[in-house]
Structure formats: structure tokens, C-alpha cells
Structure 1
Amino acid sequence: MNKQELLTNGRCKKKADRETVWPVVIMNFTGVYAHEVFARNNQFIWLDCRHLSGTRGYCDKEGIRKLKRVIAGYPAEGIHFIDSGNYHYLTKLWTDKLRVPFSLIVFDHHPDMQPPLFKGMLSCGSWVKDMLDWNMLCKKVVIVGASDKLIRTVPEEYGQRVSFYSEATLAHEKGWRNFSSAYIEGPVYLSIDKDVLNPASAVTDWDQGSFSLQELEELLAIVLRKERVVGIDICGECSATLTLFEERREATVDSRANKELLKLIQSFSCFL
């Protein structure tokens, strides 16, 4: 499927038919977005989080309170860039704003369902488990692209509410339609960690999957055509490296991925 087919093949209206436009929010923790060309848009909303302590990887109660204040004036209905995978737990804070039952679809090489090392801490490795434990409006979680090894570590008691979907199956619309009718409840919130991509398509702080950027776009296009999406976030930026050359290369690769994903998402109006 070529890029034009991705943008036009389906039942969604084109963005010219929209009455409203979702905000694009940049949550700046590491400063990496300043090096990414895609983010140089004066219509984007920048939230400066660089001064917040206790938020990298693990987020303590005070950090959670501060972050809730930062995002208080913005809705879940938006496209949120939330920096590196160390801040993926922000999906929980954004979805806590939803007031209707929903399903969460996560594109991630990791299930993010490990118990936190410290009690009462929200972490980038435990946030999906925390959502299932505490957000009663989250009815189902679908994780796309996680490694088989990590899937086997998911506690059995979550089996009724968590499903894993393979790249090969999702690539067919009929397969997704059958899967959706069986497992998806209500509208969906999409969370994309670019570590689901191969290293040629994105550079992240974590071990990565095998999806190409085009494959991920094809999967997203299917979901955007078939589901009512009530919010989206994207993470997986790479922290600054020791060499200027590597830093520029990483920013270029990640900026391209973010630009392409944003272009695809904004070509649909079915998630408005």
C-alpha cells in the first residue's frame, strides 16, 4: 500500500471536512524537541517540563501532582508528544481525563506491566498495569508489537483485559475487524512508543522492535479508519548523546518519524 492509499483508502473524511482541529501538545522534558525540525510550528503548544524533578522513568506523588497541574488546561482529545519512553507513564495521566469507557491500544515493544520497584511510584515500566488496576473506565488494553519474551512475563490475572496483537495479523483489515469486534470496547485511546520501530526508522533509549515506519503507518491507518479515537500520544525520543554528530543524526531520524506519523494522523477526521 502506498502513501496516498494510506491517506485516502477508507471511510474517514479528509481533514478539509473538519469543524475542529485537535491541539498538538509538545511535553518538553529533555530538550530534544528543540533539535527536531517537525516541532518548529508556532501552532503547537509547548509545555516546559524541564524544571520538574522526580519524573524521569519513575514519578513520585509530588511529581504526579506537578504534572497534573501542567496538563490541567488541556484535554485528552489531542495529539501529545511526550518525549522519551522514560515518560510513557504520562499516557495514564492523559487518559485519566477521559470520562467515558474506553479501550487503550498501545504500540510498544514492551508491555509496560511490570510491578514498580517502589510502592506508590508510577513508572515507565508499570503504567499499563496501574491503568488496569485503578482506572475503571479502561475496559481493555491491546498491545501491538511487544516481544514474545516480555509478553510471557505479564501476570495471568490480567488475561481477560489485556490482548496482544501481531504485526502479521493486524496488517489485514479483515483481521483487525474480527479482532476489534471481539476485544475492543467503546472508543479507543492510542499510545505509540517509537521503540516498536526498527533502529533505521527511529532512535530510542530502549531496545527496539522490527516494524518499519511504513508498516507502522499502515497499521495505524487501519485503526484510524475502523475505530473512534479519543486521544493520541507519541513517545520514544532519544536522549542527548555524547557526540554532536550522533545527536544530530538521532534528531533527524526521530523528527522524520514524528513528522510522518503526525501527517498520517492529521489526514483523518474520524478521531475528532
Structure 2
Amino acid sequence: MRPVLLHLDDALTSQTALEGRVLSDGGRSVECRDLGPSVRLWGRPASLQALEDRVRAGLGDDARPLLTFMGSGDFHHVSALLVRLASERAPEEAITVVHFDNHPDWVRYQNGLHCGSWVATAARLPSVSKVITMGVCSSDILPPGSKEGDVSLIQDGVLELYAHAAPGGGTLDLFGKDFATIQSLGEDGFADFLATRIETESLYITIDKDVLRPDDAATNWDQGQMTLAYLQRLLAVAARGRRLVGADVIGDWSHPRYGGGGLAPLLKKGEALLDQPWSAPSVEARAHNQAVNLSLYETLQELAA
């Protein structure tokens, strides 16, 4: 896969070892930090189109699948664009999107894209068979938060959601459908189960590192309980015998800068105060993000080979 550093914030600018590896492997660094504030947390159509134009221009016409690193999880909705680019490069292929996250990213949202709404956009792309979300620990999947979810995704079978655990330790009831959890099946059992849920030969992988326990990542969000080793094991299970048409990694920490015109910066700041931790992770914890990124880089490139 062709590696890309998509700079939407300052999260990756100090990760010189990662940058060196990306560039030595023939990758690219695409500068979008001037556009980042307007799409951070959420973006309106004009801002999202400006970002898409910049990304397309920065990538050029190289047809290799992309492995993209792009900073904070506040930008996870950019994954919808990257999945669409991957589907354009392989228009005849059905794609399963495998999504690791501490949050379901399934909310309904109008007039743009939100970092918590992008799954619906990706799941409805013509080439996408379904999205499989794994590792969620957030209360967003429980009432009353689950009421914000787009029920049609579950009902239409274009989203399967496998949380880390459910209240009582059994399966998780989402809009009248029962889904196994990692805890209910055990790590070995869930790994075997995952292999049965991917029904296409082509695969897109998106990783928000907030799915990981705090020992393995420092993010702008509350975090899950998955270890890096288990994440890498599930990646290997998902990719076995399949073709990777793209992947992205987000979930690094950055100082937030909000933009978008009018009241957007204030609205975004207020939303962050409600939804995100108020304290920043330590400098040491943030520095560890680079080591995790390099480890995921090696894993994903090996799986794509």
C-alpha cells in the first residue's frame, strides 16, 4: 500500500520516525492543516469539498491502495472520503469496511459530516457491502445514547456492531437485533467469529486508536479496553485471504483548533467540552503514539503484501 500522512492537525508533525518511514517507502505528505479547523469534529459540504479537492490533488494519479495516517479522531469522518476513493479505484469490487473504534460513529447528522456520523455515509456507498464495527466500550451504544443511532443501518444489514461487552455479560441488543460481544465469546472465540462475518474478497480497514486501552494510545477521546496485540491479531484474521483496498489510522492527540465560520468554532468547543476529557494526556503518553503508529504501519503493510 502507498503510505500517506494527511496533516489535518499537528498530531503527526513531531513523529519524525513515522514520516521518515513513509517517505522512504515512496509515500506522500499531504498538507491540509489550514483546512483542518473547518472540518474538525464536523464539516459542512463546502469545507468537505475543499478538503476532498486538496486530498485528490495531493495524492496524484498513483493507483496503489492507500494507507493513511491522519491525526486526531476528531477527523474520523474523513474516512468516508477515503473509502470512496478506494471504491473508485476498484469500482467492480464489493468491499467490507472493518472499523475498530471505542464509539459507533453511527449518529444521524444533517448538512455535512460529523466524526460520529460517517459510518452511514460509508455503509451506503454502492461498492460497500457492509461496515463491521468492533471494540466499542462507549455508552453511546446504550440508552439513551443509542437513540441517536441510525436504526436503518442495523435493520438493512449494512452495519454489524460488536462491542467489547454488554450489560450482564451476554449479547448486545441493538434495535431489536442481538450482537455477540468480545467478552461473550472470549478473545479466541471472537477472532474465529470475525472471520465468518466478512463475506467479500476486498477489505478496507479503519482504526481509531481510542479503541485501545490508555497504555497503548493517547487520544482526544475516552478510550476502550483493547490491547494493541489483540488489535493486530484481529487485523490478521480480517485480512487473511483477502485484498486490502485501503486502510487508515487515526486517534493521535492534538491541541484542538476549531473553525468553519460563524458560530461553528463555539459550537464545536461546546460539544468537545461535553463529550471529551478535559485534561490532555501526558507528553510521554503522546510520544508513545508514534511507536504504536509504526507498529500498525508494519502490520498493515505486511497484510497488504
* TM-score (norm. length: structure 1): 0.80
In the alignment, the residues of structure 1 paired with residue 240 and residue 195 of structure 2 have an alpha-carbon distance, to the nearest angstrom, of 12
Q: Which one of the candidate residues 216, 237, 245 is aligned to 2:231? A: 216
Matched, 1:251 2:286: yes
Correspondence for 2:161: 164
Counterparts of residues 173-184 of structure 1 (less than 5 Å):
176=191, 178-184=193-199
Correspondence for 1:185: 200
Call closer, same or farther: CA 1:170–1:71 in 2, change over 3 Å: farther
Counterparts of residues 87-236 of structure 1 (less than 5 Å):
87-97=75-85, 98=87, 99=91, 100-116=93-109, 119-133=110-124, 135-147=125-137, 149-152=139-142, 153=146, 154-159=149-154, 160-165=157-162, 166-168=181-183, 169=185, 171-172=187-188, 176=191, 178-236=193-251
Amino acid at match of 2:285: E
Amino acid at match of 1:138: V
Correspondence for 2:268: none
Amino acid at match of 1:102: I
CA contact 1:84–1:236 (8 Å) conserved in 2: yes
In the alignment, the residues of structure 2 paired with residue 24 and residue 96 of structure 1 have an alpha-carbon distance, to the nearest angstrom, of 17
Call closer, same or farther: CA 1:35–1:170 in 2, change over 3 Å: farther
The secondary structure found in structure 1 opposite 2:296 is: helix
In the alignment, the residues of structure 2 paired with residue 226 and residue 149 of structure 1 have an alpha-carbon distance, to the nearest angstrom, of 34
In the alignment, the residues of structure 2 paired with residue 108 and residue 82 of structure 1 have an alpha-carbon distance, to the nearest angstrom, of 15
The secondary structure found in structure 2 opposite 1:40 is: helix
Q: Which one of the candidate residues 20, 28, 34 is aligned to 2:13? A: 34
Using the TM superposition, give the Cα deviation of residue 257 of structure 1 relative to its aligned residue in structure 2, in angstroms. 0.8
Deviations along 1:3-44, one digit per CA (max 9) or x if unpaired, are xxxxxxxxxxxxxxxxxxx21100112122122243231333
CA contact 1:101–1:137 (8 Å) conserved in 2: yes
In the alignment, the residues of structure 2 paired with residue 76 and residue 209 of structure 1 have an alpha-carbon distance, to the nearest angstrom, of 32
Amino acid at match of 2:212: L
Amino acid at match of 1:55: V
Correspondence for 2:49: 65
The secondary structure found in structure 2 opposite 1:65 is: helix
The secondary structure found in structure 1 opposite 2:12 is: helix
Call closer, same or farther: CA 1:112–1:248 in 2, change over 3 Å: same
Worse-matched range after superposition: 30-39 or 203-212: 30-39
With a CA cutoff of 8 Å and minimum separation of 6, indicate the structure with the bigger relative contact order.
1
Worse-matched range after superposition: 52-61 or 38-47: 38-47
Worse-matched range after superposition: 221-230 or 64-73: 221-230
Call closer, same or farther: CA 1:29–1:182 in 2, change over 3 Å: closer
* TM-score (norm. length: structure 2): 0.72
- Structure 2 runs not aligned, ≥5 long: 163-180, 257-279
The secondary structure found in structure 2 opposite 1:35 is: coil
In the alignment, the residues of structure 2 paired with residue 176 and residue 205 of structure 1 have an alpha-carbon distance, to the nearest angstrom, of 28
Amino acid at match of 2:250: C
The secondary structure found in structure 1 opposite 2:246 is: strand
The alignment covers a number of residue pairs equal to 242
The secondary structure found in structure 1 opposite 2:215 is: coil
Deviations along 1:205-227, one digit per CA (max 9) or x if unpaired, are 00100012122122212222243
In the alignment, the residues of structure 2 paired with residue 170 and residue 184 of structure 1 have an alpha-carbon distance, to the nearest angstrom, of 22
Higher helix share: 2
CA contact 2:42–2:114 (8 Å) conserved in 1: yes
Using the TM superposition, give the Cα deviation of residue 255 of structure 1 relative to its aligned residue in structure 2, in angstroms. 0.6
Call closer, same or farther: CA 1:87–1:239 in 2, change over 3 Å: same
> Equivalent pairs: percent with the same residue?
24
Correspondence for 1:46: 29
Call closer, same or farther: CA 1:161–1:91 in 2, change over 3 Å: same
Worse-matched range after superposition: 230-239 or 37-46: 37-46
